[in-house]
Structures are given as structure tokens and as C-alpha cells.
Chain A
Amino acid sequence: MSDVAHAHGHDEHGHHAHPTGLMRWLTTTNHKDIGTLYLIFALVMLFAAGSMALLIRAELFKPGLQLLHPDFFNQLTTMHGLIMIFGVIMPAFSGFANWQVPLMLGAPDMAFPRMNNWAFWLLPVAGILLMGSFLLPGGAVAGGWTMYPPLYIQGGISYDLTILAVHIMGLSSIMGSINIITTILNMRAPGMTLMKMPLFCWTWLITAYLLIATMPVLAGAVTMLLTDRNFGTHFFNAAGGGDPVMFQHIFWFFAHPEVYILILPAFGIVSQVIPTFARKPLFGYASMVYATASIAILSFIVWAHHMFTVGMPAAAQLFFMFSTMLIAVPTGVKVFNWVATMWRGSMTFETPMLFAIAFVCLFTIGGFSGLVLAIAPVDIQLHDTYYVVAHFHYVLVSGALFSIFAGIYYWLPKWTGHMYDETLGKWHFWLSVIGMNIVFFPMHFLGLAGMPRRIPDYALQFTEFNQIATVGAFIFGFSQLIFLAVVLKTVKGGAKATSKVWEGAEGLEWTVPSPAPYHTFETAPVVK
């Protein structure tokens, strides 16, 4: 973003080729450059996968097939899911981690800058493999982002490419996680004890641990799919003595912690934003850390609640139902703590705070529908219906995505040195929050009424709610163009931001100037 290193007078005899333009970004090992790259990648992918969602909603505006062939529809739903998870939410959180973790800890850079560069540049490769598969004969992968065999075994070449892309993204996540863990543990400034770390660092530390524990499981699972497809093994093929349901067990053993990987950093961001605008310290900091750890531990023993309908014994259903319900307790602790942080504060409502409040409210709706789905008999009725679609979009759009918006508005002045346009920011917020609810709230009713997910066409009684959802989707989708405009406008210029930016802001990142210089904390700050 901003490069002040050029400003220093020095003689440069004997320098070699100048990395310019593209080469500058390809070879950069600066945590701020890499953070920016991650965020740009996530933004591009957000618009790509968002356009797919709009195509899906356009097809579903009316019963009957209007725009899309059913097979292409399945390709869109699959790719929308894969890209939103692995190409938008995860890279965006990695971008925040790269920018903020060293700033918050008073470290000069990440522990392994070169590895950081590799971890980022693997992502566009995977992105190109995924998006490019639309052009292959037979089109992109259409078996759902969960990749269940035997359907996944039937597909063409793009299915193998998707497995390769998942491997590449997994490698990237592991390198990123190792970097974040070592940075947080080893690069803290003197006096920055673990207990003084901002909650964002804590949530990312736990997230990185979850990634390291579960990524080999995903890699193994997709590799077994690959060998089943191409080398005649029978891991998941019943005809050869395998078990297709075991894939679901292995997959969800990875993917349930993955769900928390997608939400814990969001908790971290919101826990930074709310105290700032309430002008009051975070309520129950220690409890927040313990609740995060508790959620992470529980995430390893609840995976089978994604598969209550595969037909498991009653005892197994009870086990997974009880342990899933318990997750509501630490999650509730977090929500109560956020509300208690606002209680008797001195609040102002700038855009980051608005997104954070919407996060607390709407994420809780997603939490309640999660509790409904935790009850096994109700889940069996609602599994694979639009109720589930509504549930995870409340968690991932008004949860993860809104926290990302909150974080961008919160730290953008620090990154660029310019204040964003508050009026445009508010427009973005209100259109997003209204649009988002119009899209996803009616989906609860669709699911209750019995509309299955992943269908390109539906029975007549589902028409009205689908039409409402489609209208909402276009409002929500197009209001993201405002977000793009705000970001571009802020990068280009605007009112100068002070180093503290927000009146109530606390933490090391607000002690460096805005924009944050290319290099910060060469000399470690001393934290008291």
C-alpha cells in the first residue's frame, strides 16, 4: 500500500534488476503487502462467487427452467460454496491476520516472511484451477462443495482438478497457520504476555491450531477420492468393500472445525470493534478466551450432527445431539459478553460499529437456528432443506462476512492513511443488512415447508418466498458495489486519518502513524 522506504536517502551502487510493478508484488515478503494481496484476492473472489449466487437466484425467481441447465446449476452451487469458503472468507481472515497480528504484537514482520509469500501465491493458482474448470468439457465440478462419493466418483476431469486445487489451498492454509502460530508465540514484544494479547490474536491462534489439526484429514479424504476415481481403490466404494458414509465422517471431522475456522476470527474482529466504539474495555476478556478454547475443543466431537440422516444408532444420535447443544453455552457466553461490553458504554455508531452490532444480532439468529438443527429429530426433518441454507448463510454472511466488513472499515484508515466516506459506508451497511435479511429470512420458511436445497426448479407453493429471496439477493449483491467504491475512494485519497483514528481505540496498532509505515516496530515497543 504505502511504501515509505523509498523516502530514505542512500546511495545505491551495485544494485541489480529493479522489481517493478508485478515483480514487486510477486516477490514481496512484507506482511503488510501480503495482507493487502490476501484482501484483494478475497474481494475479487467475492464478486466472482457472488455473481454465481445471483445467477442461482435468478434461475430460482420462477418455477420452471429459464436460464440455466440443471447440470450447470449444480456447477454454480458447488463452485459458489467452494469459492466463498476457501477463496473469500479464509483468505480475508488471513489478510487481517497478516496486517494486524504483527502490528498488535509489536513485531516487525511475520516469523517466516518468505513462506508467507508462498502461502499467498498458491491461492491464485488454486483459484485459476477452480474457475478454469468451467471451460473444460463437462464443465466444473457439480457434486456439491462437500464432495460426497459416489456422485463425486462419476464426474469428469474437473473433479480431479478440484481435488488438486483443494490440496493447494490446504498447503497454503497450513503454511499460513504455521506462520501465524510462530509469530504469535515467538515474535511478541517484551511485556506482551499471552494474557495481554488482543482477542483477535487469541482467536487466530486457536483457529490456526484447528487448521493444523484438521487439514491433513481433508487432504487424506480428497486423496482417497482421487485414488478411488483413478486408481481402482475402494475406500468409499461399497462394491469393493468400502463405505461411502465413512467419507462423510472423515469429511465432517475436518469440516466441523473448519466451520469454526470461518467464525472464530470473526469473533476476534468484533471483540476489537465493540470496545472501541463503546469506549469501554471488553467485558470478561478471560472468559472470552476460555469460551473460544471451549468452542474449539467441542468442535472435534460434534461432526456427525451434519449427517443425522445417514442412519446411525439412537445412542450415536443422542451423543452428537447432546454435545452439539452444549456448544450453545460458550457461544452464549460470547454474545452476553458483547452485550455487557456495550452496556453503560458511551456509544457512537460509525460503520464498523454498525456492522459489529448487526453481527451480534444476526449471528445470534444463526445460532438459534443452529440450536433448532442440533435437536436430532427436528434436524432430520430439516436436513438438506432451505432451512439449513438459511442457517449457514446467517452464520457466514451476517457472521463471517459482516465481521470482515466491520474489520475493513475499522482498520482501513490505519492501512491507507485516509478516512473512508462515512455516508457511503452507512449506505453500504443499511442496504447490506436489509438485503441480507430479505434473501435469507424467507429461506427458513421454505425449508420448514419442505423445499430441498440444491434444486434448480421447485414446486409452485414455494414461489413467493423464492421471489422475495431473489429480489433481496439482487439488492444485497449490488450494494457490494458501494463497498468496492468506498474502498477504492479511500485508497485514492480522502481526509487524513490520525494515528489513533478512533477516539476509543486501544492497542499497539494505534501507536504507529496512519498510514502504517512499510516497516513498523523495528525496535520493539515495551508493553506495560
Chain B
Amino acid sequence: MDEPVRETAGAYVFHSRPRCALSQGQERRVFWTLAAGAFGIALGFSALGYWLVLPFAGLEVGLLAWAFDALRAREGNYETLTIEGDAVVLEWRKEDGCGRRELNRRWVRIESDCSAPGRHCRISVCSHGCGTEVGQYLNDEARLQLAATLRSRLQV
């Protein structure tokens, strides 16, 4: 979520990605250190005949693997929204692949959809009945601020 907004000459650029302080290699090593500790202990007890420790170590390592997988999947993600002249360009990379969409600024509307005032809001950039979500890596307050900024930018 660093550097969410950058303004270059004439163009408005919003760029955001999830926070990530570990490199991929470091993440892998942390995971294997944790998993090796849990499994090593469980294997020790299993060797003594107390094997019921093993499935729980397995479940725990499974949970860890899911968590680290989710972290890694987030890692390369980003989204960029550029407003330059009449063009609104969205570019993103998510877990399920990359995408790009170009819109005409005059047709663009910003919709925000909150499940409660100020909570669990999603905002999308809509045009021709088809919306694209933005601000996924922000949380509610920043997302609503982004919506307000975009609306004012698009009015000009």
C-alpha cells in the first residue's frame, strides 16, 4: 500500500499494491523453519509410538502453507489507475492474472457499495454497465477517500 497516489505532469496516477517486507526466498525459509520445527517434534513423538501428534502437526503446517501461499500470491499484485486527458486506464495484476481496461472519462462513474456506513466498502469504476473494482489493497477509510478523489478528478 505504499505510494498510493502519484501525480506526474498533467496525469493523475493512482498506484497501489499490498505491503510486503519479505522477499520470496525469505518467505520460503521462514515457512520451512516453522514447518521443520513442528514436524521434527511430531516425528520424534511418533517414533516413540505417540503418533497422534503427527496429524495435528500436519494440519498446522497445512494452515501455515495456506497462509504463506496467500502471502506470496499477494506479492506481485498491483493496481494502477491513470487519468490522462480523456482516457482512464486501469491496469492490474491479481492472483488470477493480469488485466488492462481503457475507458472514456466521460462515461465513467465511481460506485461505492458499503455493507454498513463506512464499513466493508468496495468501490468500482463503471462504464457501459460494467464495473472494475479499485482500491482493493486499501482499507475502508482510504478507499472512501480514493472514491472522493476520483469523483472530483473525473468531474473536470
Once A5-B141, A213-B37 are accepted as A-B contacts, the answer to whether A224 and B148 lie under 8 Å apart by CB is no
Once A175-B63, A522-B141 are accepted as A-B contacts, the answer to whether A220 and B114 lie under 8 Å apart by CB is no
**A181 and B30 contact, CB distance less than 8 A:** yes
Does B147 touch A at the CB level, under 8 Å?
Answer: yes
Find chain B residues with CB under 8 A from A224 CB. 50, 52
The A174-191 residues at the B interface (CB cut-off 8 A) are: 174-175, 178, 181-182, 185-188, 190
Instruction: Name B115's contact: one of A16, A250, A253 (CB within 8 Å).
Output: A16
Instruction: Name B21's contact: one of A109, A186, A250 (CB within 8 Å).
Output: A186
Does A492 touch B at the CB level, under 8 Å?
Answer: no
Does B106 touch A at the CB level, under 8 Å?
Answer: no
The A15-30 residues at the B interface (CB cut-off 8 A) are: 15-20, 24, 27
Find chain B residues with CB under 8 A from A503 CB. none
| Residue among B1, B116, B117 with most chain A CB within 10 A | B116
Once A217-B53, A223-B56, A524-B1 are accepted as A-B contacts, the answer to whether A519 and B142 lie under 8 Å apart by CB is yes
Return the chain A residue nearest B64 by Cβ. A178
Once A18-B117, A522-B139 are accepted as A-B contacts, the answer to whether A8 and B50 lie under 8 Å apart by CB is no
The B136-151 residues at the A interface (CB cut-off 8 A) are: 138-142, 144-145, 147-148
**A216 and B41 contact, CB distance less than 8 A:** yes
Does B91 touch A at the CB level, under 8 Å?
Answer: no
The B50-67 residues at the A interface (CB cut-off 8 A) are: 50, 52-57, 59-60, 63-64, 67
Find chain B residues with CB under 8 A from A17 CB. 115-116
Q: Is the interface of B mostly helix, strand, loop or mixed?
A: helix
Contact with A along B71-91 (1 / 0, CB 8 A): 100000000000000000000
A43 to B127, CA, bound (A): 51
Instruction: Name B2's contact: one of A112, A190, A517 (CB within 8 Å).
Output: A190
Does B11 touch A at the CB level, under 8 Å?
Answer: no
The A203-248 residues at the B interface (CB cut-off 8 A) are: 209, 212-217, 219-221, 223-224, 227, 235, 246
**B53 and A221 contact, CB distance less than 8 A:** yes
Does A53 touch B at the CB level, under 8 Å?
Answer: no
**A524 and B2 contact, CB distance less than 8 A:** yes
**A174 and B48 contact, CB distance less than 8 A:** no
The B1-41 residues at the A interface (CB cut-off 8 A) are: 1-4, 19-22, 26-27, 30, 34, 37-38, 41
Contact with A along B120-156 (1 / 0, CB 8 A): 1000000000000000001111101101100000000
Return the chain A residue nearest B55 by Cβ. A220
Does A14 touch B at the CB level, under 8 Å?
Answer: yes
Find chain A residues with CB under 8 A from B50 CB. 220-221, 224, 235, 246, 250
Instruction: Name A15's contact: one of B30, B115, B138 (CB within 8 Å).
Output: B115
Find chain B residues with CB under 8 A from A190 CB. 2, 21
Find chain B residues with CB under 8 A from A223 CB. 52, 56
Find chain A residues with CB under 8 A from B63 CB. 174-175, 178
Does A10 touch B at the CB level, under 8 Å?
Answer: yes
**A217 and B118 contact, CB distance less than 8 A:** no
Contact with B along A509-528 (1 / 0, CB 8 A): 00000000111001110000
A13 to chain B, nearest CB (A): 8
**A10 and B112 contact, CB distance less than 8 A:** yes
Contact with B along A237-273 (1 / 0, CB 8 A): 0000000001000100100000000000000000000
Does A344 touch B at the CB level, under 8 Å?
Answer: no
Instruction: Name B118's contact: one of A8, A209, A219 (CB within 8 Å).
Output: A8
**B139 and A212 contact, CB distance less than 8 A:** no
A496 to chain B, nearest CB (A): 22
A220 to B44, CA, bound (A): 13
Once A5-B141, A186-B71 are accepted as A-B contacts, the answer to whether A209 and B37 lie under 8 Å apart by CB is yes
Once A12-B112, A187-B21 are accepted as A-B contacts, the answer to whether A215 and B53 lie under 8 Å apart by CB is no
Instruction: Name B53's contact: one of A186, A192, A216 (CB within 8 Å).
Output: A216
A36 to chain B, nearest CB (A): 16
Does B45 touch A at the CB level, under 8 Å?
Answer: yes
Find chain B residues with CB under 8 A from A112 CB. 67, 70
**B116 and A19 contact, CB distance less than 8 A:** yes
Find chain A residues with CB under 8 A from B116 CB. 15, 17-20, 24
B39 to chain A, nearest CB (A): 9
Chain B residues packing against A (C-beta within 8 Å): 1-4, 19-22, 26-27, 30, 34, 37-38, 41-42, 45, 48-50, 52-57, 59-60, 63-64, 67-68, 70-71, 111-120, 138-142, 144-145, 147-148
New A-B pairs, 11, CB < 8 Å, besides A10-B147, A15-B114, A178-B67 = A14-B111, A174-B63, A181-B30, A182-B67, A185-B30, A213-B41, A215-B56, A216-B53, A220-B52, A224-B50, A523-B2
Q: Can you sample 6 A-B contacts with CB below 8 Å? A: A18-B116, A18-B117, A185-B30, A219-B53, A220-B57, A224-B52
Instruction: Give the top 4 A-B pairs by smallest Cβ distance, nearest first.
Output: A220-B53, A5-B118, A216-B56, A219-B56
Chain A residues packing against B (C-beta within 8 Å): 3-6, 8-20, 24, 27, 107-109, 111-112, 115, 174-175, 178, 181-182, 185-188, 190, 192, 209, 212-217, 219-221, 223-224, 227, 235, 246, 250, 253, 517-519, 522-524
